[in-house]
């Protein structure tokens, strides 16, 4: 699966570089425009994870962003857009890792049970866009691929005097690719303000059974090249294959700054 994802991203990246190279005699063609947007997404999690197809192996997850923030080990998020006339390329990346540990002991510390766990989730999207409606309120139609990866690492240690120490570690990674289609609508509000609405749907049984997301945002142009962004994003994934079920919704506010050139 990883080799497939790398090949897809390499092919699309090569296509962008080739398209961005000016052809002879095409000096009057419209230039490429770019936008890089680092952002923070304060997402909480609500759903369930099941391993090996056994109900008793299921785990209900209900974590607010404040809960996740307490256990957050590392996070990185960002988007990139390249556009030439009506055509464009969209990239988006979300990576975060949460880790936690705990220990329980019997009375007077006769026996103890300690556990350390980490969950890493990655979400990478690449898509082509076409501007179906131009003007002050443009509409883009979008089609692409989204790579999802979930990895968990759990280490459990049990200690009882006069008995061997029991140590068990579980490391598992699941990943898949979803095709998706969507649309983005921008509405000029006057002055430097713009409203943005985005939605896509995918999976269709190729990767997950169903995956969709929606986003609503307000943008403010501090300068033509610096755009402040604030909004709300909801992502839902329903994956059930190979004795692994991941039915999860991630949602929360986000804040970003776009740099255009």
- Asked whether the whole model's pTM tops 0.85, one would answer no
Residue listed under structure tokens 């049990």: 158
Which carries the bigger pLDDT value, residue 58 or residue 129? 129
What integer pLDDT is reported at residue 194 of this predicted model?
Answer: 97
Residue ranges of the domains in the chain? 44-260
* pLDDT (mean) for 98-119: 58
Does the structure show a pLDDT above 90 at 68?
no
**Quick one: pLDDT at residue 181?**
98
Contact predicate 44/252, CB 8 Å: yes
Say which CATH architecture domain 44-260 belongs to: Beta Barrel (2.40)
Predicted local distance difference test score (pLDDT) of residue 20 = 46
DSSP string over 80-142: EEEEETTEEEEEEEEEEEEEEEEEEE-GGGSSEEEEEEEEEEEEEEEEEEEEEE-SSS-EEEE
Entry field: residues in the chain = 261
Confidence of residue 4 (pLDDT cuts 50, 70, 90): very low
pLDDT at residue 135 above 80? yes
What are the structure tokens assigned to 160, written together?
């009882």
pLDDT at 237 over 50: yes
pLDDT digit string, tens, across residues 27-64: 557 899 999 999 999 998 898 877 765 554 556 778 88
């Amino acid at each position: 699966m990883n080799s497939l994802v790398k090949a897809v991203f390499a092919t699309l990246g090569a296509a962008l570089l080739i398209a961005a190279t000016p052809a002879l005699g095409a000096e009057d063609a419209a230039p490429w425009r770019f936008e890089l947007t680092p952002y923070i997404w304060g997402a909480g999690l609500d759903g369930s994870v099941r391993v090996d197809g056994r109900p008793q192996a299921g785990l209900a997850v209900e974590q607010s962003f404040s809960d996740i923030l307490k256990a957050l080990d590392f996070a990185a998020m960002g988007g990139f857009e390249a556009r030439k006339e009506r055509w464009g390329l969209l990239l988006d990346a979300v990576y975060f890792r949460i880790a936690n540990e705990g220990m329980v002991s019997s009375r007077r510390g006769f026996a103890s049970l300690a556990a350390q766990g980490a969950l890493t989730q990655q979400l990478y999207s690449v898509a082509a866009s076409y501007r179906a409606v131009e003007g002050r309120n443009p509409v883009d139609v979008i089609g692409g691929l989204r790579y999802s990866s979930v990895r968990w690492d759990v280490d459990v240690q049990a200690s009882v005097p006069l008995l061997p120490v029991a140590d068990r570690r579980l490391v598992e990674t699941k990943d898949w690719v979803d095709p998706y289609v969507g649309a983005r609508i921008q509405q000029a509000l006057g002055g430097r303000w713009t409203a943005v609405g985005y939605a896509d749907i995918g999976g269709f049984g190729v990767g997950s059974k169903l995956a969709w997301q929606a986003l609503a945002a307000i943008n403010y142009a501090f300068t033509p090249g610096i755009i402040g962004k604030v909004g709300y994003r909801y992502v839902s994934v329903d994956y059930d294959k190979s004795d692994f079920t991941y039915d999860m919704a991630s949602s929360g506010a986000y804040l970003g700054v776009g740099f255009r050139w």
